[in-house]
Structure 1
Amino acid sequence: MTTTITIPKEYGYVVGVAATTFLLSAWHGHRVGPFRKAAAIPYPHAYASAEQLSAAEPSKKNAMYLFNCAQRAHYQFIEHYPQALAGLLVTGIKYPVASASLGAMWIVSRVFYATGYTNKDKEGGKGRYSGGLGMLYYFAEIGWLGMGLKMAADIVLA
């Protein structure tokens, strides 16, 4: 038995959202730079260490903390990016509008997550939740998972 994959016209939405994720990735990377500069953390160090934080004066300690938050938001994005992009592109074959809509929600949520994480008024990185908006990316990923499993079952059981 063979399976034929037909790309629907609406897959263009999926490709457009996927292309936008490349901009989001670049934005994440460039966003960390000013926090690194303010914290005076040289390359190749990924974070301000616990020792650096404990020895720093209060104003520098805050800058180091915010750098760590910006860097963690970036890393967390990188941790989720491969499966999000795969979920978007694969499920978009059968469910292009739903997949692209989840992708748009994922992108917006990632912006709220990153900007909220560096909210200096929120201790412990709690700003990343951004009133729930920073966590919506989970729902997009769960949606892609569900659609992907449905597609797999449809192919196997056909």
Structure 2
Amino acid sequence: MVSFVLSPDYGYTIATTVISTVLVTVLGHRVGGYRKVANVPLPNMYAEASEAKADKKKMIFNCYQRVHQNTLEGYSSYLVSLLIAGLQYPRASAALGLIWCLGRVFYSIGYTSGDPQKRMWGAWGHIGDMGLLILNGKIAFDLITSA
């Protein structure tokens, strides 16, 4: 049987998972709230392109929806990377996770401003997930070469 001891600093990593989960939840609630403003009925995921072109509220709703979907598309790999990297580098993984979260906030603010090109305000958040990927690669390399 293999066992390992978690550093108390792993709490920072877990706290970051809580923060990122709250972020994803807030983004989802923003979609629901703006759905009413834009009058996009369920079960439609997005307003039709022709409707969005004619009605700025519907276009912005599509942006809210896209921010949430885009965040969810990368969330599982971010979360796995965060939790694995945190086993060896709990403070670094938490810091990188917070960078990812802040990047997503700025991405969301920019994207939903009415000018989707402003989503690039949060592009620097990829430093977080790229950093986590590098830490995971280092852990894998160390494990493989220690055998």
2:111 to 114, 117, 134: 117
Give the 3-state SS of the residue equivalent to 1:128 in structure 2.
helix
**Cα shift readout 1:121-156 (whole Å, capped 9, x = no counterpart):** x2xx111122xxx01221111111111011011111
Summarize the alignment of residues 5-154 of structure 1 with structure 2, pairs less than 5 Å apart. 5-54=4-53, 56=54, 61-120=55-114, 122=115, 125-130=116-121, 134-154=122-142
Displaced runs of 4+ in structure 1, greater than 2 A? Answer: 2-6, 51-54
Please state how far the C-alpha of 1:3 moved relative to its aligned partner: 6.3
Q: What amino acid is the match of 1:34?
A: G
CA contact (8 A) 2:103 2:126 kept: no
What root-mean-square deviation, in Å, do the aligned CA atoms of Structure 1 and Structure 2 show? 1.5
Give the 3-state SS of the residue equivalent to 2:32 in structure 1.
helix
Please state how far the C-alpha of 1:17 moved relative to its aligned partner: 0.7
Unaligned segments of structure 1, at least 5 residues = none
C-alpha distance in 2 between matches for 1:144 and 1:116: 24
**Cα shift readout 1:106-133 (whole Å, capped 9, x = no counterpart):** 111111111110112x2xx111122xxx
Give the 3-state SS of the residue equivalent to 1:100 in structure 2.
helix
Unaligned segments of structure 2, at least 5 residues = none
Q: What amino acid is the match of 1:33?
A: G
Q: What amino acid is the match of 2:85?
A: T
Q: What amino acid is the match of 1:151?
A: I
C-alpha distance in 2 between matches for 1:53 and 1:105: 32
Q: What amino acid is the match of 1:126?
A: Q
CA contact (8 A) 1:3 1:155 kept: no
C-alpha distance in 2 between matches for 1:116 and 1:11: 32
TM-score w.r.t. the length of structure 2 is 0.93
C-alpha distance in 1 between matches for 2:34 and 2:48: 15
CA contact (8 A) 2:40 2:46 kept: yes
Give the 3-state SS of the residue equivalent to 1:92 in structure 2.
helix
Number of matched residues?
A: 146
C-alpha distance in 2 between matches for 1:53 and 1:19: 34
Identity of aligned residues (%): 36
C-alpha distance in 2 between matches for 1:13 and 1:34: 31
